[in-house]
Structure 1
Amino acid sequence: MSFDHLLTSSKRRELLQNLGIGHGSDVFSTGLFRKAECNAETAISQRSIPRANPDHLRPIFDRFATKEIKGKKLMTPEDFIRGYLGLYTEENYNKETVRLLASAADTTKDGDISFEEFCAFEALLCSPDALYLTAFELFDRNASDTISCDEFEAVIRHTQPLHDQDFDFSSEFIKRYFGADKQRNVNYHSFCQLLHDFYEEQGIQAFKRYDKNGNGTISSLDFQQIMTTVKGHLLTDFVRHNLIAVSGGGASGHKVTFPYYAAFNSLLAKMELIKRVYVSTTRGNLDIEMTKEEFLHAIQSYTQVTPYEVEILFHLSELNHPGRKTLCLKDIQAIDPERLKRVSQMDRLINIKAVHHKDDRGVGTAFLESAYRFLLGSVAGACGATAVYPIDLVKTRMQNQRTSGSFVGEVMYKNSLDCFKKVVKFEGLLGLYRGLLPQIVGVAPEKAIKLTMNDYMRDKFTKDGKIPLYGEIIAGGTGGMCQVVFTNPLEIVKIRLQTAGEVQQAGKKIGVFTVLKELGFLGLYKGSRACFLRDIPFSAIYFPAYAHAKLASADEDGMNSPGTLFASAFIAGVPAAGLVTPADVIKTRLQVAARAGQTTYNGVIDCARKLIKEEGPMSLWKGTAARVCRSSPQFAVTLLTYEVLQRLFYVDFAGSRPTGSELATTKTIQDESSTNPDHVGGYKLAAATFSGIEHKFGLFLPKFETSK
């Protein structure tokens, strides 16, 4: 049985009665209620805040309860709403409003709240549908677990919208819910639908009231009056201030037709869907501006959204940024009420906004952004290199293995697995990490330059959130070209150390300083042409493939999880690493120190010719499998680390952000919990729940007593 069913009036009373609990019983001395509560609590599958311990609630209740009957402490409506929850604390507060709100916790509807009811309401606040359950308790004035037409009318007439715009409670709408004689009661689920439909009906009645000629039109001023009174809970400040402008009229101007009125209200109710369509279409790239034609194409599969609603949406968007006939996320946010929409939320260690607007971005900000990316890229590169270094060592040994020469038995390794086993056997596990230190020292700036330059160039080619394919290729190639200044010295030292284990078996010892001394400064850039031939095509292939793989693997909200980031980076590395293997083989042969009797090379072309002549064309593809197995996971770890770091240590420089990184888990108004130490468990959500009832359903209750 779902715990939600225990939260309606009759079920909660039944639970209390079955346990022999009333206002005069010491429920917690028997422990029965606590046991039943724990059993029911396990049935709650989703809630944002865990239940409070009754032992913690007891002293809080006793402290705020001012009424006592037969030794039993009770809370009055004022104790509960004004004293405990801290709502309606003004001196001239509306007493009927306070009584109504308190009745949500008053299960027996006797005017007071017992400790058992206090605990039961705390459980209700933890339920997934707490907004509807709380509203149901407000309307259920006689504790019958159903709502009559009289009860519904009594509460509705107390709300502010009914003060401003009357409603015909003898209308066909009311009769459809309560019967022709209005004697039929509605249960919880029927009430939820009634509450949802009521303000739509009130809006229709208001339109008819202002349509005095019966021709289906009202003035723009009448439109503004209806929207601010009946639909005020759906209006942001931006929409509220532009109601006249968007309806195209003035004091004596444009007439608003009923289709326009219906489409406008329907659009406001669908803003979360509108945002979802935008995010899904842009696949998480929140800088993209969509044209009306693109948006109309995107909503083809959404029957709920009509072209008329899209027309109004883009009219509002143009009012938000005059001169541009496109739609962006900021336009949607200007229309979507903050208190109702799902807010993009991510738990971050650092969340800094360097500039307030993109126009404030200067040279210094751009430099800081590059430094920020460089730092994160360095950490990411080091993580990626360490993760796959043993595979890289095996790849280098295999590529350096000669199939011709003067040594007998020079072919030391049968395959990559055999190489791995022999390294461990003759050099130990640490032999797999030979040369790791200079790799870590060098790979940090190498990967940082590659990632930073790619991001920088992508920013230059990006316009309205979109980047052409040629721009992605140039950006990636530029990143690969710039990294060579660090890559070549790093690679040649690393390769000399990785192959040193083969020489050390003959009694020689080679270290970092030995290699540096032997090579000299100019020697560190030996084979740099081959390095350019490898790294530029690699990055030109890799980064566009990664970007498109991210788009393809993002969820419907355009969000990339760590899993899809890793998979996208891994998949993109396969073609990039495989296709540039010939350049990598040539680079390796040029940079390895040739031993006595081995062929020497005088450049890229000479090396390629001799390789094909002496070892065959397939020699250019040596170590392809090992290279793919090394590069794909290395870049997967590197890019995953890079993007996760940007999420955790978020600094907004108003530049382009990685696509698929902006959206995350969402929260609703119920997550805006109280920080009052007395508000424990579900009571952290009490004030937000009462506020949600007003803003979600339009049940605005008067705060102050009206002067008579």
Structure 2
Amino acid sequence: MGLSQTQKDLIAGSAGGITQVLVGQPFDIVKVRVQTAAPGTYKSPLDCAAKLLKNEGPLGFYKGTLTPLLGIGACVSIQFGALEWAKRFFGRRNGGKELSLAELYASGAIAGAANTIVAGPVEHIRIRLQTQPDNPRLYKGPLDCARKLYAQNGIAGVFKGQVATVCRDGIGYGFYFLAYEALVQRHIRKNGGTREDISPLMSLGYGAIAGYALWASIYPLDVVKSKLQTDSLDPKKRVYSGMVDCFRKTWRAQGWRGFTGGLEPTLIRSPFANGATFVAFELAMRLMGGDKHEHMVMPDPTA
């Protein structure tokens, strides 16, 4: 008995997610530390990377990797599973025609929102592990961190920053998958064939562009999310009461520069991590016998 299309979507998404973590983790830890450090702690992202290497060694760049390796793999699996479901849903509604830009954006937004049930706590735990001091260490590992977060604040402690995560991913992944799928549709419209005929190199390039579309649409929100998730768990010691308060205080303290911390490593990381994600997804899908939604990326015969 063969795999169902949904199972293929989830497995290929997991392959993409694991690849994304392994490629992007060193850049991500520098981004998070620059985003959440007090002003003046680092002269630049390169200074942050140099200090991290000096103080924690090469493995410091993979600090807290176990959580995203498992969690982001699950997140990306959910993303692609929800994306493909939404594309098939809109494809049935429009009679199998090429999906419109609005339908592609909606599919991506659904995928982004769906993945936050896992992404929220996973990223919170990862950020706590990435920013904790080496001596004394607050958490022994991901499970210990999750346990202590729950012990301090219950389920709200584990899902701290969840509203910001939903807003970020709903908006960002709308643009992310819109960019990638629109480029795939354009490629097929121009060259014919199906998405299986698109070379890995082209998928890499389209994924890189999609990554830039993602971050261009949400970077300030990502900064706010990181600040909220590293804020104190003790309500009496919290710096921010919520998203709006965080925006306001960050603007007052640093102006627009307060929303660009860690941008450089993110822009450097994005084409590699996101390009690799889509290549891994597409190749995994082909190894499992291809996908079944080519009709949704073929040219509209009525156009």
Q: TM-score, normalised by structure 1?
A: 0.38
Query: What is the CA-CA distance between 1:414 and the residue it aligns to?
Result: 0.9
CA distance in 2, matches of 1:509, 1:655: 47
Q: Is the 8 A contact 1:581 1:627 kept in 2?
A: no
Task: Tell me if 1:371 matches 2:3.
Answer: no
**Amino acid in structure 1 at the alignment position of 2:64:** G
From 483, 486, 489, the counterpart of 2:118: 486
From 54, 60, 72, the counterpart of 1:425: 54
Query: What is the CA-CA distance between 1:594 and the residue it aligns to?
Result: 4.2
CA deviation profile, 1:240-261 (whole Å, cap 9, x unmatched): xxxxxxxxxxxxxxxxxxxxxx
Query: What is the CA-CA distance between 1:518 and the residue it aligns to?
Result: 2.5
Q: Can you give the 5+ residue segments of structure 1 that lack an aligned partner in the other structure?
A: 1-351, 355-364, 404-410, 661-708
CA distance in 1, matches of 2:282, 2:145: 35
Structure 1 partner of 2:212: 574
Query: What is the CA-CA distance between 1:454 and the residue it aligns to?
Result: 0.8
CA deviation profile, 1:508-565 (whole Å, cap 9, x unmatched): 3532244223210331111011101111111110111111223445673443111000
Distance of aligned partners of 1:657 and 1:483 in 2 relative to their CA distance in 1, 3 Å threshold: farther
CA distance in 2, matches of 1:582, 1:440: 25
CA deviation profile, 1:310-355 (whole Å, cap 9, x unmatched): xxxxxxxxxxxxxxxxxxxxxxxxxxxxxxxxxxxxxxxxxx9x6x
Q: Is the 8 A contact 1:459 1:656 kept in 2?
A: no
Structure 2 partner of 1:637: 276
Query: What is the CA-CA distance between 1:655 and the residue it aligns to?
Result: 4.5
Structure 2 partner of 1:338: none
Distance of aligned partners of 1:398 and 1:377 in 2 relative to their CA distance in 1, 3 Å threshold: same
Task: Tell me if 1:453 matches 2:88.
Answer: no
Structure 1 partner of 2:36: 400
Where relative contact order (Cα < 8 A, 6+ residues apart) is larger, the structure is 2
| Helix, strand or coil at the partner of 1:637 | helix
CA distance in 2, matches of 1:595, 1:477: 30
**Amino acid in structure 2 at the alignment position of 1:427:** E
| Helix, strand or coil at the partner of 1:510 | coil
Query: What is the CA-CA distance between 1:595 and the residue it aligns to?
Result: 10
Bigger radius of gyration, 1 or 2? 1
CA distance in 1, matches of 2:260, 2:210: 19
Task: Tell me if 1:386 matches 2:22.
Answer: yes
Q: Is the 8 A contact 1:461 1:468 kept in 2?
A: no
Q: State the identity %.
A: 26
Q: Is the 8 A contact 2:172 2:214 kept in 1?
A: yes
| Helix, strand or coil at the partner of 2:289 | strand
**Amino acid in structure 2 at the alignment position of 1:565:** S
| Helix, strand or coil at the partner of 1:435 | coil
Q: Is the 8 A contact 2:124 2:158 kept in 1?
A: yes
From 515, 534, 555, the counterpart of 2:145: 515
Query: What is the CA-CA distance between 1:599 and the residue it aligns to?
Result: 6.4
Q: Is the 8 A contact 1:549 1:572 kept in 2?
A: no
Task: Tell me if 1:526 matches 2:160.
Answer: yes
Superposition map of 1:1-12 within 5 A: none
CA distance in 1, matches of 2:179, 2:121: 28
CA distance in 1, matches of 2:219, 2:162: 15
CA deviation profile, 1:131-187 (whole Å, cap 9, x unmatched): xxxxxxxxxxxxxxxxxxxxxxxxxxxxxxxxxxxxxxxxxxxxxxxxxxxxxxxxx
Task: Tell me if 1:565 matches 2:173.
Answer: no
Structure 2 partner of 1:435: 64
| Helix, strand or coil at the partner of 2:6 | helix
Structure 2 partner of 1:605: 244
Looking at secondary structure, tell me which structure has more helix per residue: 2
CA distance in 2, matches of 1:657, 1:517: 47
Task: Tell me if 1:470 matches 2:102.
Answer: yes
Query: What is the CA-CA distance between 1:577 and the residue it aligns to?
Result: 1.0
CA distance in 2, matches of 1:417, 1:456: 41
Q: Is the 8 A contact 2:223 2:259 kept in 1?
A: yes
CA RMSD of aligned residues (A): 2.4
Q: Is the 8 A contact 2:113 2:169 kept in 1?
A: yes
Structure 2 partner of 1:224: none
Structure 2 partner of 1:544: 178
Distance of aligned partners of 1:657 and 1:552 in 2 relative to their CA distance in 1, 3 Å threshold: closer
CA distance in 1, matches of 2:238, 2:114: 31
Aligned residues: 284
CA distance in 2, matches of 1:584, 1:497: 17
Q: Is the 8 A contact 1:445 1:486 kept in 2?
A: yes
CA distance in 1, matches of 2:57, 2:44: 19
CA distance in 1, matches of 2:11, 2:97: 25
Query: What is the CA-CA distance between 1:465 and the residue it aligns to?
Result: 3.6
Query: What is the CA-CA distance between 1:647 and the residue it aligns to?
Result: 1.2
**Amino acid in structure 2 at the alignment position of 1:638:** T
CA distance in 2, matches of 1:579, 1:623: 15
CA deviation profile, 1:566-600 (whole Å, cap 9, x unmatched): 0011012112212201110110011014499x861
Q: Is the 8 A contact 1:553 1:568 kept in 2?
A: no
Structure 1 partner of 2:227: 589
CA distance in 2, matches of 1:456, 1:648: 20
CA distance in 2, matches of 1:562, 1:644: 8
Q: TM-score, normalised by structure 2?
A: 0.86
**Amino acid in structure 1 at the alignment position of 2:219:** T
